[in-house]
Structure 1
Amino acid sequence: MPPDPTDLTPLGARSSDPRLAAWGWTRHRELWWDGQQEEDRSRLEPGRVVKELRGVLEVQTASERIDTRIPGRYFQPGSDPAEVPTVGDWVLVPRERPPGDCWIERVLPRSSKFSRKVAGNQTVEQVVAANVDDLFIVMGLDGGFNLRRLERFLAAARDGGARPVVVLNKADLASDLAQRIAAVRDQLHGAALYVTSSKRDLGEQLLQLSVDGLTELRRALEPGRTIAFVGSSGVGKSTLVNTLFGEQVMRVRSVRERDERGQHTTSHRELVRLPGGTLLIDNPGVRELQGWLVDEGIEETFEEIRSIAADCRFRDCRHQQEPGCAVREALERGSIDEQRLDSFLKLEQESQQQAERRRERERAQESLRSRKRKARKTRRRPERHDDTASE
């Protein structure tokens, strides 16, 4: 069996080409690549998607950065939209490529992904970042503060395999900072928490609240790891990144005069190498906060409800009016927050509906593929001649 390509151990000095290691190429990915057929190794080379803009993907190889196109097979009926290459993906491209005519030939297995449901009524998964080690969920402590939104992001992060990190930004705009930090802490379940502000030094205040700030966040960033910042538009992601790394990594527009808030500026996805070796994927604000939800991510985010639900009389208890529901009993005792339970039930319902619609789409796609296979067999079938007809 070939080595696991999703192993995140950095290549570092062991890399045969440190130029790829600088973009997150791992030791096991290199071993996996060494195990491929010699014909593929001589014809293709690995690279990482570092930018996506208007359907063109920029890929960083060991020697150069090139513009590539996505083959049409990824968009044919019956294909899975989640498999379309995106920023952060490792791909294989031809070594010999005519200028302006380079196509991605293969996408390597992903170690993690951050997905959401596409905008609108379609139940289709959209991967917005691939091979992310740490997913920083940024939420503004101003008018955009929303615990239900945070729960969605945490569930989506855990489902995708990235380590969630919560960053409460714009702390200088919060009049009830201590209460909001306490409310978020109840939802972390192992996720790290940082509180930041680009306008004011909060050192003494955060010390009193026993919470880490910008300095600790900067120290937690590791070279060779890929991080991504997600959150709604206008929460200050670009300003936070620039403050973290001490340079203009991401462009930030001037603040709006009416409320002194920075405007959302990121219009494309991009992976950049930062001072110190950390790799950053910057994403546009998620306009429709419907993560691609599955039971595992939801259960981990609502761990306290999941542990209580294990004591329900029925395994398929929906925690509504069923007899012997341990969750409802805990709610009556005050052991569970009612709003949090409502959010849990809502996300579970969405997850189940997504799963059912996905199964329906997969059945339709399989039916289409089956009809195409039959049509091809019919075209290949030799024409039969009845010799007795002339007798």
Structure 2
Amino acid sequence: MKTEPRVVEPSEWDEWYGKVVLAFGGVAAAPEHTELIREITEFDRTLGVWDGAECVATAASFSFRMSVPGGALAPTAGVSMVSVAATHRRRGILSAMMRSQLDDVRERGEPLAVLLASEPAIYGRFGYGAASRQLRADIDTARVTLSVPEGTDAIRLRKAEPDEVLADIEAVYARQLPGRPGLIARLPEWDRLQILDTPADRSGASPLQCVLAERDGEVVGYALYRVKPSWEESGPNGTVALQDLQAVEPQGHAALMRYLFGIDLTSTVSMSSRPVDDPWQHLVSDPRRCALRSWDGLYIRPVEVGAALAARTYRAPVDVVLEVEDAFCPWNAGRWRLSGDADGASCERTTDRADLALSVRELGTVYLGGFPLRGLADAGRVRELSPGALAAASLAFGSDVAPWGPHNF
């Protein structure tokens, strides 16, 4: 067989997507979900490898714009649905797809690629670095109380059907983009995917519910959630499963959390994808009863190092020469002078002496400001070649707001 990936034709999509489903466990999604995935598919960015009439490998990407430190929305390829059939492993198929995909991303002028890894061990060798973490929590609302900020009682809460207030939900989400690295601007039809609600999506919980937070008639926040009822001999102990919560002000956030804490017949608020600096952590009476833990989130791959580093701003002035290693995308290898501050940056080729040496994977890890260069140096992943360069660059690359990637793709 030939291992060269090729673009999938619309007539081949059912076969192609069937192999995606099989690779991720084989449980078919609801017809509504499958149809929506087809609608948002960018066929010229959808790849397959075929062995005769059988599709044996898949990969896709989407034309996103992602918020980076400083608030700009950088063109970014959203990589998704990558799979190789178990019958066709160790033949170089995955490497061929990654090669084809990254070459295409470069040709499109997108300086970054991003993915959510189902198996993190796969992507480091292709230059992707873990750039954010996500917070998980199961809050014991029978024992944990909230101390809300002054003015919270001025917020009005209103229940609504998610599809009827989708425009309000999306407006709040859009207002968050400049202030949170890692957020992805919605493409057409992707808003529908965020509120898709079929019995298969519920896992025994209620249909998707929505509550809006309003101040003087303006929507300032929302929460999307499900309730999963449960009973013990001592009484009800249901769970509120939070899908998404966004708010543009502290009082709106606190009012929504207080509402979730007070839903009848429940004793747990469970969340699986929140920013690690989520503000409710400073409102709870007992963080030990919140079962906090974190896991890896966004994986970032600088496709064009110069353009990627120039797309963001820097927390402190920086002027540093980076010696970059990139075996998979050799056009990035070599020395780059990064100069920038909070107002903007440039990153150009140079022959000057290097101050720091690292691989493109480490650049991906620190790109959104969620991990310090200092930590990577302590792990032996970054080498300081000029005294003082590490401290200055580590400060500059940081972000006051933790990166977060709640947008599923």
Q: Common fold, TM-score beyond 0.5?
A: no
Structure number with greater Rg is 1
Q: Which is helix-richer, 1 or 2? A: 1
TM-score, normalised to structure 1, is 0.26
Higher RCO (Cα < 8 Å, 6 or more apart):
2
Q: Which is strand-richer, 1 or 2? A: 2
